[in-house]
Amino acid sequence: MINKIIETPKEAVADIFDGATIMISGFGEAGSPIELIHALIDQGAKDLTIISNNAGSGHVGLAALLENKRVKKIICSYPKTAFSEVFPNLYCNGEIELELVPQGTLAERIRCGGAGIPAFYTPTSVGTPLAKDKEIREINGKLYVLEYDLKADFALVKAYKGDRYGNLIYYKTARNFGPIMCMAAKTTIAQVNKIVELGDIDPEIVVTPNIFVQRVVEVANPLHEHVLISQNKKYPWTE
């Protein structure tokens, strides 16, 4: 019997090890698996490399993972968002390494990581500082930059519904990086608002095929980052 359902976020992240590379879904707070991130903070793994579009806001979720000094390097496209204080402070103090990647290149590097394509040429960033020291090649009269794939030991992804095989569907623009991160990690851990029976998700509308998902954990009422920020919350929770 195949059953990828795990009871709690704590159990779902228990084997994440020091030095792991972890993809974390989300575009800002939309699609950010905040309960899995908080469970990872509780678990204690450190020296992590994080691949995520942003670098967190306020003092919860991804920002809290950074603030608790668990992350040595972040690979992202836009670490500067409203209410982001943690990353700028760490970066200015030289306490975190940043690899800045154009957003589409980040997405394609992740997609390729999951699709068995080790590298690709893209026009994005030609003639800019982000192409510095990279291989440039002319193809049919146009210049392209060589970019390599991205893979991860784990992906922490937020989806809307999942079943025990690991089929996933998402909710609105919270889909963003989820589907491609599921493909690019050895172990994909999906938190879903609702676990449903096999067959309840119409096979025609499955977004992430179950083969890309190893663990599914239900978080029925996930926290909202903007609400926590408006309440000045900080994780681990303090009184």
Q: Which residues bind another protein (CB under 8 A)?
A: 27-31, 53, 77-82, 87-88, 91-92, 98, 100-108, 110-111, 122-130, 170-180, 207, 224-226
Q: Are 99 and 72 in contact (CB under 8 A)?
A: no
Gap between the Cα atoms of 208 and 216, Å rounded: 12
Least CB distance to another protein at residue 239 (A): 26
Which of 138, 202, 120, 128 is CA-nearest to residue 168? 202
Among residues 5 and 98, whose Cβ is nearest to another protein?
A: 98
Gap between the Cα atoms of 192 and 218, Å rounded: 5
Q: Are 35 and 209 in contact (CB under 8 A)?
A: no
**Residue at token pair 């678990």:** 43
Among residues 14 and 117, whose Cβ is nearest to another protein?
A: 117
- Helices and strands, number each (H, E), in the chain: 7, 12
Least CB distance to another protein at residue 158 (A): 9
Least CB distance to another protein at residue 45 (A): 26
Least CB distance to another protein at residue 39 (A): 21
Say which amino acid occupies 73. K
Gap between the Cα atoms of 186 and 146, Å rounded: 24
Least CB distance to another protein at residue 193 (A): 10
Among residues 44 and 127, whose Cβ is nearest to another protein?
A: 127
Among residues 196 and 223, whose Cβ is nearest to another protein?
A: 223
Among residues 14 and 227, whose Cβ is nearest to another protein?
A: 227
